[in-house]
Amino acid sequence: MCGIIGAIANTNVVPVLLEGLLRLEYRGYDSAGLVVTNKGLERVRTTGRVTELSKLVVQQKTQGFAGIAHTRWATHGVPSERNAHPHFSGQDSKIAVVHNGIIENHEAIRSNLKDKGFEFLSDTDTEVIAHLIAFNLQQETDLFKAVCLSLAELQGAYAIAVMEEDHPERIIVARNGAPLLIGVGKDGNYVASDTSALLQATRSIIYLEEGDVAELSNDGYRIVNCLHNRLGDPVQRAVHESTLSNEAIELGPYAHYMQKEIFEQPSAVANTLEMVLNAQSISPNLFGSEAEKIFSKTSKILILACGTSYHAGLVARYWLETVAGMSCNVEIASEYRYRDPIADPNTLVIGISQSGETADTLAALNYAKKLGHQYSLAICNVPESALIRQTDLRFLTRAGPEIGVASTKAFTTQLASLLLLTVTLAKMHKKLSADDEKKVIAALRHLPVALQHALQVEPQVKIWAKSFAQKRHALFLGRGVHYPIAMEGALKLKEISYIHAEAYAAGELKHGPLALVDSEMPIVAIAPNDQLLGKLKSNLQEVHARGGELYVFADADSQIAESEGLHVIRLAEHAGLLSPILHTIPLQLLAYHVSLVKGTDVDKPRNLAKAVTVE
Ligand code: G6P
């Protein structure tokens, strides 16, 4: 996690650094800092957010032509000013470092450097990088070479940017396991953890690759790769023109990114399905040129993911079994990577991730390959991410940048993609007739409009939110394919409103959670008019009979009447396979409005970050 930005230009770079940090704040926001060269290295750090850093910078009139900056999500060491980046080392000529990632062997390096007389002022793993570079600079006077030599000693994942007091005319940056992009500008050069932070300065972007180390000056750059040579072999990397629009990363008329992203879902899903919406039939090529070959060999599916993406996988399991007749296992990536599962070469491994950067998902996928799984597919929202690069097949959810920490449009676009995958596999394995294929395409064509319709329940949800905001706990119930949707609804509520929420498969209620039911426990139920509705209604009766307050999201044709202690919001008539996607919408709205009533930080909930690039 953490966000990095650096700039070296012909003008004062402080505004670029601050604007970049604001764009990167989704990656971590428990402290922020920057350093610029201005008659020496001038550093400003705060435990506050980027807006606090901006105030300090104005007070201190900080300016400089080169600088690096950081917004932190604490891993080693509590959020405090002394643990905030940049970290320094060296006496005669200071070194400043910002870092995203984790240095796994930091303890060994720290003790070694302590023996050599280096004094540590923070609890971070990052500080060892600064001292290591300073140490190597004692033998090797060129900073670029000293950085390369230091990197050879680091284990773990990192993206770093380094400056030296005596040579303010350059910034050295490196990437290994965490994203880092160079922005090539007319009046300067830039580096950042993602494109959105660079757009203010340039659209010409270079995606650094694993092992790349680069030197930036105000009028040029050079890149070497250190994977096979400690001092690096020169490499050329393509410059891409980013097509990301400013609108995509700006709030526009919305109060929060989460609100914007909830309401963008009709267009996000339409973009994701664009290639299908105008087609007469579905082609496996949508998943990559090798897809037909790989899908024809696929007999089982293994899905690896975390958080909301894991919930998308759980929904897909129901679809894959029912529509494609394919058995599917869905695993929490952080658990899978430490088990001893049995590999099967005919199982297609699918990594689902909004960011494509989640450390556990990446590691689980690698582990699956090591175990002997042959083929992999990424479903991901970030085209240049590590996940996309490490799989045989890929499908991009074209949701556009998702900035709110609580995932919304990434989830529904993942679901749309997984439904498409399901019907593709079903078709290839002769489980779907040509007629049914047409029906699914027609349903997918209708999905953006159906999502628009689902968003119209907002005024009713707002009323419910007022009573929810007073509660400390909530239960979410669903059955079948809507059980993972209940899990996602509970996750949304706890993430942003801090109300303890748990999801249960409604049939499990009587095996324990029913003991929790009283008038203080709101129970949210997802009640679509599917084949399990009758069963669910009995479960709801069990709650009602015990004085529980029920909040039911039903279909127009679910035939559940309001009564004392039983509130109902109705969506449109039952939407078949699309139903879990549509039933997600009111749950997102509920979490959002409860959070508004409670006054919590919707887009940046406490203790969380968007892209979890550490274990
Ligand atoms: C974090 C985010 C969640 C997200 C999860 C997995 O916990 O806050 O919103 O679902 O990571 O992220 P990914 O990028 O792999 O989908």
Per-residue pLDDT tens over the stretch 398-442: 999 999 999 999 999 999 999 999 999 999 999 999 999 999 999
**Domain tally, the chain:** 3
Q: What is the pLDDT of residue 20?
A: 97
φ, ψ for residue 110 (rounded to 5)? -60, -45
Name the residue of 1, 193, 262, 309 to mutate for ligand 1: max ligand atoms within 8 A of Cβ: 309
Please tell me the residue having the least CA distance from ligand 1 atom 2: 610
Q: What is the pLDDT of residue 615?
A: 78
Q: Is 439 a catalytic residue?
A: no
Q: What is the pLDDT of residue 281?
A: 86
Pocket of ligand 1 (CB under 6 A): 306-309, 353-355, 358, 361, 405-407, 608, 610-612
Q: Cα separations (Å) of 26 from 67, 76, 553, 611?
A: 21, 19, 31, 8
Q: Radius of gyration over alpha carbons of the chain, in Å?
A: 26
Q: What is the pLDDT of residue 544?
A: 87
Q: What is the pLDDT of residue 147?
A: 97
Tell me the pairing of strands 522-527 and 473-478.
parallel
- For residue 196, how far is its CA from the centre of ligand 1 (angstroms)? 18
Annotated catalytic residue: which of 2, 306, 328, 380?
2
Query: For the residues 133-153, what does the mean pLDDT come to?
Result: 94
Final residue belonging to a domain, choices 221, 248, 275 = 248
Do both 396 and 267 map to the same domain?
A: yes
Do both 436 and 298 map to the same domain?
A: yes
Higher-confidence position of 485 and 39? 485
Give the separation between CA 146 and CA 138, rounded to whole angstroms.
Answer: 9
Do both 255 and 243 map to the same domain?
A: no
Do both 318 and 441 map to the same domain?
A: yes
pLDDT at 275 over 90: no
Strand partners, 53: none
Do both 42 and 150 map to the same domain?
A: yes
Query: For the residues 41-54, what does the mean pLDDT come to?
Result: 96
Q: How many CB atoms lie within 10 A of CB 89?
A: 23
Final residue belonging to a domain, choices 248, 273, 306 = 248
Do both 231 and 257 map to the same domain?
A: no
Do both 279 and 240 map to the same domain?
A: no
pLDDT at 278 over 80: no
Which amino acid, residue 312? Answer: A
Which residues constitute the domain of residue 391?
Answer: 251-451
Per residue in 171-227, pLDDT tens?
999 999 889 999 999 999 999 999 999 999 999 999 999 999 999 999 999 999 999
Looking at the domain assignment, is residue 200 inside a domain?
Answer: yes
Nearest to 153 by CA among 123, 124, 133: 133
Helix segments in 216-280, DSSP class H: 246-249, 257-263, 265-272, 274-277
Q: What percent of the chain has pLDDT over 70?
A: 100
Helix segments in 60-99, DSSP class H: none
Strand partners, 217: 220
Do both 472 and 433 map to the same domain?
A: no
Q: What is the pLDDT of residue 270?
A: 94
Looking at the domain assignment, is residue 392 inside a domain?
Answer: yes
pLDDT at 92 over 80: no
Over the chain, what is the mean pLDDT? Answer: 94
- For residue 517, how far is its CA from the centre of ligand 1 (angstroms)? 31
pLDDT at 39 over 90: no
Which amino acid, residue 244? Answer: L
Q: What percent of the chain has pLDDT over 90?
A: 86
Show the tokens assigned to 8: 């070296």
Query: For the residues 23-51, what does the mean pLDDT come to?
Result: 94
Q: Is 297 a catalytic residue?
A: no
Final residue belonging to a domain, choices 416, 451, 486 = 451
Please tell me the residue having the least CA distance from ligand 1 atom 8: 610
Name the residue of 610, 613, 615 to mutate for ligand 1: max ligand atoms within 8 A of Cβ: 610
- For residue 614, how far is its CA from the centre of ligand 1 (angstroms)? 12
pTM of the model: 0.91
b/e burial code for range 27-57 (CB count within 10 A of at least 16 → b): bbbbbbbbbbbbeebbbbbbbbbbeebbebb
Q: What is the pLDDT of residue 566?
A: 93
- For residue 608, how far is its CA from the centre of ligand 1 (angstroms)? 10
Do both 467 and 430 map to the same domain?
A: no
Name the residue of 310, 331, 354, 608 to mutate for ligand 1: max ligand atoms within 8 A of Cβ: 354
Do both 52 and 192 map to the same domain?
A: yes
Do both 461 and 587 map to the same domain?
A: yes
| CATH assignment at residue 158 | 3.60.20.10
